[in-house]
Chain A
């Protein structure tokens, strides 16, 4: 063995392979910090023997966490931001904004308030657009927007609320104190932050990135129970009641401790629902190495074809592929997005036909990273279907169509509304799901049978962005459809994860994913995260064409740029309106492929 190893070593170019903690979350974590954490609940109560030798508790704390210090008013997380970490309060207190309507205004959080150009401002672009590329009149600062900006002792950029009393007066908040967790839902489910959190006074927080949280939860049942309990208490009921199947149980104005049938039903559903995540949180990294032939086989199976339907599976976030065995492979039949349901058709069929039960007819696999809620079959039968198969509790409209009998067995349509039964070309369906373009709510698609490559679209985009086009007219193709390299304004915008200032955010009005140029610090987190290479970092210049340099490093200041769907322009996306040949369209691939197919067939 040793001789064989020596031979291999002589033959090859030996290098240290990458390891999990090559880039610790908090490079400044010291052994003393870790000692302190090991003596602090809940870590002090954990049994280190439960952890593997490859990922001991001490190493997880050293490499997957970091200690952050906040001053009064510092914004910890913003509602709507995407995050990949949870927080444990080590000392001090934070306030959580839970007001349903009176939210903290966007500029106060460092976000740009949406404002469209007036007609004259739009027209003046004809002569006022800069002659140099990427001109900025200033390097930008969140302070210009209404939020304060400072750098802490470790060099991290912090935004802070400038007028805390008025925020507290307008918003409804709750206080979290030492020993409490928050942010775990967004970290594990990859959903937007559900609330804005800011420091009430000086506070010390332990930020745990999702990998560390996942590993600790795996090894410490108590923490896992606690995190799941928080989720059940804070969020699960809201998610369940957002599903049409359960909306008949909504008792919005119920007093605390209400024991009516509806409230008892929803409590039982919340208690019995399982919350799981599947796939790779960092799928946007592995996406770039995907190969067409292995992708379905590599996807984690959430529910397998021919297995017993244990419950209804609701997609909480991300996407799931619905497929079936076909020849030696698997054929994609449909895909599910947030809020959609799998397994209901089989459960309803079995409830109506107890002597003719069926197994799951299609498989469900995770595309990227998928969070699901599983509501057990007995609970569905009790609170959604009822005891009379002829008269379900919920409206018949919410239940799948009756089964058609064909060739000796029932054949159920695949769940979801975007399947090849509605006339979607199989090649397009496979292409869109495998390349995860179904993430896009405003994907730029080009009909190659009509595109004359005149570049009017590119020129229009440049005209609307001070002379700088924000997309590239090329990309992957299937048949006559090309998906161009333009921001797709994804339903699951992984680019937003980890932005330190919240500069990249979802516009509260139209839902576009936009970058606030003023508060962007050019860290390139978003550009590196985008799996579709739709975000570009640019060096900014002044009107004379000189690079604007950072006073400390002497290097050109960079900003992240991408398509913003012309959110501040009159009339919407300039590219689509500029195409004379009806060859370019911004399409919601997240919603349906039917409109794409019909458009491409024109």
Chain B
């Protein structure tokens, strides 16, 4: 059995046991007609604060506080338990009231973005290996500029009306910036095929020398498209955390307000 499978079994089992214990605790309170909201609320808040500590752990790499990968595993499975505790806290009902609805939405977006982020971090690295050269995100503008300059030089050198016209009509815009963001995320190569087909369609109007240049332009289009593919996926990998982390802090603030209000109206 691989270590990852073993790890999933261990953490998964621990999560299930914890969830069952939480359910047992909630049921014992509920069946004895005691107020479950305050207890489950504090447990929920403690869990969310514990989950948020992962970001703090990343700021302390020089202290031996277990590896970040162990923290991530705890974060993921504790996150699943937290969703379950949330459902217990709201008693499996849709909350009412503007504050509670806001809080619930924030919680669900944070939880949902976490699940999405985990999925992306497992899927995207493998996808990036299938196409093109893996260029570091911050270096991509330099790479793009090189491709753009190379293309301009090619078009300058050859005196071809057809190719120049195509360059002005289609390629300047295509090479100006990363393109086809959502197409790449959807794993579609339609824009690439469309552009290459258009270029190929000029073949009947070209001489031998121009055809060589056309092939080189096609090569550059493919490289640019691969670069855009990497840009789209690496951007998603980088920026999903800009949803997950800020909303977590918002969640904590609104939760604090909710606690004050809940005790004030108790």
Contacts and interface: CB of A to CB of B under 8 A. Distances in A.
Nearest to B60: A126
Contact of B69 (A452, A474, A570, A581): A581
B204 interface: no
A449 B63 contact: no
Given A119-B63, A453-B237, A602-B2, A578 B125 contact: no
Of residues B67, B69, B121, which shows the largest number of chain A Cβ atoms within 10 Å of its Cβ? B69
A71 B198 CA distance: 80
Contacts of A571: 62-64
Contacts of B64: 570-572, 577
Interface of A is mostly: loop
Nearest to A474: B136
Interface stretch (A21-29, A34-42, A290-298, A456-464): A456-464
Interface in B207-245: 234, 237-238
A577 B134 contact: no
Nearest to A566: B62
Interface string B54-78: 0000111111100111011000000
A459 B62 CA distance: 11
Contact of A452 (B63, B68, B125): B125
Interface residues of A, number: 37
Contact of A460 (B4, B61, B126, B136): B61
Contacts of A576: 67
A576 B71 CA distance: 13
B136 A453 contact: yes
Given A449-B125, A474-B136, A580 B68 contact: yes
Interface in A440-477: 448-454, 456, 459-460, 463-464, 473-474, 477
Interface residues of B, number: 28
B136 A454 contact: no
A287 to B, nearest CB: 23
A303 interface: no
Contacts of B126: 449
A540 interface: no
A453 B234 contact: yes
A579 B71 CA distance: 10
Contact of A577 (B3, B68, B129): B68
B169 to A, nearest CB: 35
A583 B67 CA distance: 12
A466 to B, nearest CB: 11
A577 B67 contact: yes
A464 B234 contact: no
B125 A448 contact: yes
B68 A579 contact: yes
A283 B124 CA distance: 39
A574 B129 contact: no
Nearest to A119: B63
Contacts of B182: none
A463 B62 contact: yes
A123 interface: yes
A577 B71 CA distance: 10
Nearest to B3: A602
Contact of B62 (A448, A450, A569): A569
Interface in B1-28: 2-4
Contacts of B59: 126, 463
A454 B63 contact: no
A570 B136 contact: no
B113 to A, nearest CB: 15
A473 B126 CA distance: 17
Of residues B62, B128, B237, which shows the largest number of chain A Cβ atoms within 10 Å of its Cβ? B62
A132 to B, nearest CB: 19
B125 A580 contact: no
Contact of A123 (B63, B68, B125): B63
Contacts of B183: none
A453 to B, nearest CB: 6
Contacts of A464: 61-62
A453 B137 CA distance: 8
Contact of A574 (B4, B62, B237): B62
B121 A452 contact: yes
A582 B72 CA distance: 10
A576 B237 CA distance: 20
A450 to B, nearest CB: 6
Contacts of B72: 580-581
B129 A459 contact: no
B246 to A, nearest CB: 17
Contacts of A477: 134
Interface string A542-584: 0000000000000000000000001001111010111111110
A574 B136 CA distance: 21
Interface in B112-147: 121-122, 124-126, 128-129, 134, 136-137
A480 interface: yes
A122 interface: yes
A275 to B, nearest CB: 45
Nearest to B137: A453
B63 A580 contact: no
A473 B59 CA distance: 19
A90 B122 CA distance: 67
B5 to A, nearest CB: 9
B63 A122 contact: yes
Contacts of A229: none
Nearest to A473: B136
Contacts of B58: 456, 459, 578
Contacts of B4: 582, 602
B134 A448 contact: yes
B237 A125 contact: no
A494 to B, nearest CB: 28
Contacts of B63: 119, 122-123, 570-571
A463 B68 CA distance: 15
A579 B69 contact: yes
Given A577-B68, A602-B2, A452 B62 contact: no
A449 B129 CA distance: 7
Give 6 nearest A-B pairs by CB, closest first.
Answer: A571-B64, A460-B61, A580-B72, A574-B61, A580-B68, A578-B61
19 contacts: A122-B62, A123-B62, A126-B59, A448-B125, A450-B125, A456-B68, A463-B59, A463-B62, A464-B62, A574-B62, A577-B61, A577-B64, A579-B67, A579-B68, A579-B69, A580-B69, A581-B72, A582-B4, A583-B125
Interface of B: 2-4, 58-64, 67-69, 71-72, 121-122, 124-126, 128-129, 134, 136-137, 234, 237-238
Given A452-B124, A574-B62, 16 more contacts: A119-B63, A125-B62, A449-B126, A451-B125, A452-B237, A453-B238, A454-B237, A456-B68, A477-B134, A569-B62, A570-B64, A571-B63, A577-B61, A578-B67, A579-B69, A581-B121
